[in-house]
């Protein structure tokens, strides 16, 4: 005979799990609600080993997780219809009650306490209700079914996960362990694993253009890598705003894996210096656009002489435009749009470099045209997508 865990509502036991427990239910509790597994004397606690709180608390947690009353009711209706269509058996009462009758009977049972077990009428009614609930557990998401049970009980009724029978030798589940926090951590890890990888950039333009590029170089990742949509709300557009967003995500405990990526220029490295020096949660990575061989000898205007000089601009002038490809950065006369140097950043000991404002706008316009043509199947043979490909590769391998 199996030793079971039970979902407790009021003084009643539901949803037995042989030699185990429902992790989805365990995750609804806090470790502060742990009941000591010290074989408490009868009457000392409603549960001598497990977790205990109130129906009201669990209902609010379920609601916060999106397990709403409407969702549970819809799942219940579907499951009851499924049970009603099954052939007669000794595992279900016949006919299977409709929704209203089932809920009325459940409320009546939950309005009683454990002392009612001695009443013959209750003893006769309980098995039929229990068979229906056990049948529903095969056709409903377990948290929806738990919500139905809780909604039919008084708000301040005790509710818990009873692990008392698992506190015995020879059972692999150790009820003394922090099962609630473990189950919740596993849920969050599953969210992080299955949700799209979220990419945070310095602003809407970078997000839009990177997404355009990804649709060409990595079209198979659309829906699996999502760039933060700045168009949905006004937002700052600079590296400082990116740092604030990362901090907000960390403080909020966002479960999704996310990558924050900034320009590979002096301002970008200076702006992220403090952030990159800190330890981050396992769900977070902070990157710059990767260095490119193409940028290791790129024409830059010498700030003292005004002469164009091949210069390694990786880490000093690597804004997103520099990754659009050599074809985009080449002007009509066959020369590359040059980098111009700005002020010195003392902390890093180097100047900030960038294309001129006019060249930057021209590069973005050309890139949009190139991306649109590529998606329409009209790519030119000599197009350069190495820079965008390198950025997307660095994003998707950030957690390697």
What's the pLDDT score for residue 230?
62
pLDDT band of residue 42 (cuts 50, 70, 90) is: very low
- Tell me how far apart the alpha carbons of residues 328 and 322 are, in angstroms, rounded to a whole number: 9
Average pLDDT of the residues in 226-243: 73
Q: Give the CA dihedral 127, 128, 133, 139, nearest 10 degrees.
A: 130
- Tell me how far apart the alpha carbons of residues 220 and 189 are, in angstroms, rounded to a whole number: 24
User: Phi and psi dihedrals of 137, rounded to 5?
Assistant: -65, -20
pLDDT single digits (tens) 150-207 = 999 998 899 999 998 887 665 667 777 888 888 888 887 777 677 888 999 998 899 9
Q: Which helix (H) or strand (E) holds 245?
A: helix 239-252
- Tell me how far apart the alpha carbons of residues 128 and 353 are, in angstroms, rounded to a whole number: 77
Q: Which of 135-144, 192-201, 338-347 has the lowest mean pLDDT?
A: 192-201
b/e map 53-72, b = 16+ CB within 10 Å: bbbebbbebbeeeebeeebb
CA nearest neighbour of 136 among 191, 86, 80: 80
Residue 286, CB-side half-sphere exposure with 13 Å CA sphere: 23
pLDDT single digits (tens) 49-86 = 899 999 999 999 998 778 899 999 999 999 999 999 99
Name the residue with higher pLDDT: 383 or 43.
383
223 contact partners, CB below 8 Å, separation of at least 6: 196
Gyration radius (Cα) of the chain, Å: 31
Average pLDDT score over the chain: 88
Where does 215-263 show beta strands of DSSP type E?
Answer: 225-227, 258-262
pLDDT single digits (tens) 371-399 = 999 999 988 888 999 999 999 999 999 98
Check whether the bond before 224 is cis (ω within 30° of 0).
Answer: no
């Amino acid at each position: 005979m199996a030793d079971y865990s039970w979902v407790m509502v009021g003084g009643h036991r539901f949803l037995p799990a042989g030699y185990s427990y429902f992790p989805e239910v365990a995750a609804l509790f806090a470790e502060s609600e742990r009941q000591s597994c010290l074989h408490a004397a009868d009457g000392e606690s409603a549960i001598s080993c497990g977790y205990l709180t109130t129906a009201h608390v669990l209902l609010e947690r379920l609601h916060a997780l999106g397990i709403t009353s409407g969702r549970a009711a819809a799942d219940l209706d579907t499951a009851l219809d499924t049970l009603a269509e099954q052939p007669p058996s000794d595992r279900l009462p016949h006919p299977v009650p409709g929704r209203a009758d089932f809920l009325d009977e459940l409320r009546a049972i939950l309005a009683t306490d454990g002392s009612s077990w001695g009443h013959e009428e209750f003893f006769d009614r309980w098995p039929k209700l229990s068979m229906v609930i056990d049948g529903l557990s095969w056709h409903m998401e377990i948290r929806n079914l738990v919500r139905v049970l809780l909604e039919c009980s008084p708000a301040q009724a005790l509710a818990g996960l009873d692990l008392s029978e698992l506190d015995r030798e020879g059972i692999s589940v150790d009820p003394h362990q922090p099962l609630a926090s473990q189950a919740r951590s596993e849920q969050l890890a599953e969210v992080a694993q299955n949700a799209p990888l979220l990419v945070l950039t310095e602003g809407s333009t970078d997000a839009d253009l990177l997404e355009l590029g990804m649709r060409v170089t990595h079209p198979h990742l659309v829906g699996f890598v999502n760039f933060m949509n700045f168009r949905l709300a006004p937002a700052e557009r600079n590296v400082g705003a990116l740092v604030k967003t990362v901090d907000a995500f960390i403080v909020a405990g966002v479960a999704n894996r996310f990558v924050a990526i900034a320009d590979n220029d002096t301002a970008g490295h200076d702006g992220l210096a403090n952030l990159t020096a800190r330890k981050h949660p396992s769900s977070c990575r902070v990157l710059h656009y990767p260095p490119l061989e193409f940028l290791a000898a790129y024409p830059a205007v010498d700030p003292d002489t005004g002469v164009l000089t091949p210069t390694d601009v990786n880490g000093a002038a690597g804004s997103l435009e520099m990754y659009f490809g050599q074809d985009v950065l080449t002007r009509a006369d066959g020369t590359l749009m040059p980098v111009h140097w700005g002020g010195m950043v003392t902390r890093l000991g180097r100047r900030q470099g960038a294309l001129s404002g006019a060249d930057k706008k021209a590069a973005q316009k050309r890139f949009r045209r190139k991306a649109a043509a590529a998606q329409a199947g009209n790519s030119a043979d000599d197009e350069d997508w190495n820079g965008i490909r390198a950025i997307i590769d660095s994003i998707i391998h950030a957690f390697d």
